Amino acid sequence: MDIEEKIAGEITVSDNPGTTIKKWREEFSISQMELSKYMEVSPSVISDYESGRRKSPGAASIKKIVNALIKIDEKRGGHLLRRYNSGIPSDALLDIKDYDHDIGLEYILPKIKGRSCSGADLKRNIRGYTMIDGINAILKFSYAEYTKLYGWSSQRIIFITDVSYGRSPMIAIRAHPLKPAAVVYIRPGNVDELAIKLSEIENIPLIRTDMDHKSISSVMNLLR
């Protein structure tokens, strides 16, 4: 089931369709004003649906709402669509994208204000990236879901947030047969010596950055 069918289905079968519309609108971080503008209706229409003041929308109105949510996200870069379509738990996955061409890691580093923490070779190409919430990933990823982190290619950067010392992510990477091209810790508390050593043993560059994950997503999404 794709995301459009999922949203439309949830609204249709919900005992409170307005609450479900609001849930998805907020999940996409879209305001009532923005949604109404895209749908070419008054903001009060969206407000009345969500509050229950207006009767439940029919199939045509639901389709219009869902299409608007999708189109707005696509216009912003499609981050939420990629998350949901990846098959990875959405609260652990922050962003994912594949490129149709090679991009040099050394070209990317200054754009994300990345600093290498180990002696692993930086001369390699990237074909995509995956950004995960470090805590939720540890708590929720199954073995199969971990494999899905690699999208179409393991030739990618794995970005990880909420890193205290960085040992657990590198231990997990060392234990798994698939290896990323590089690992980037986003605003880590520290980078443990064991993490650095594992990076060098596997020859996987370990990088840190003080940029926030939303800014990094914006940069990575625009790379050509």
What does the pLDDT look like over 164-200, one tens digit per residue? 888 888 988 888 888 999 999 999 988 999 999 999 9
Whether pLDDT at 90 is above 80: no
Specify whether the CB–CB gap between 98 and 151 falls below 8 A: yes
Arithmetic mean of pLDDT, 124-148: 76
pLDDT greater than 90 at residue 206: yes
Neighbours of 77 (CB within 10 A): 16
Question: Is pLDDT above 70 for 202?
Answer: yes
Higher-confidence position of 73 and 32? 32
Give the pLDDT score at 173: 86
pLDDT category, 141, cuts 50, 70, 90? low
Q: What pLDDT does 160 receive? A: 93
Q: Is 78 left (phi over 0), alpha (psi -120 to 50) or beta?
A: left
How far apart are the C-alpha atoms of 65 and 146, rounded to whole Å?
Answer: 33
**How far is it, in rounded angstroms, from Cα 55 to Cα 60?**
14
- Domains detected in the chain: 3-76 (1.10.260.40), 86-221 (3.40.1390.20)
pLDDT at 183: 95
For all residues of the chain together, what is the average pLDDT? 87
Q: Are residues 50 and 21 in contact, defined by beta-carbon separation less than 8 angstroms?
A: yes
83 compared with 11, residue with greater pLDDT: 11
Q: Which residue has the higher pLDDT, 80 or 158?
A: 158
The answer to which of 18-32, 95-109, 116-130, 141-155 has the lowest mean pLDDT is: 141-155
Q: What is the pLDDT of residue 142?
A: 63
pLDDT digits (tens, 9 = 90+) for 110-122: 999 999 999 999 9
**Residue 102 pLDDT > 70:** yes
- Return the structure tokens found at 224: 């050509």
Residue 153: pLDDT band with limits 50, 70, 90: confident
> Does residue 216 contact residue 159 with C-beta atoms inside 8 Å?
yes
pTM of the model: 0.65
Alpha carbons 95 and 117: distance in angstroms, whole number: 23
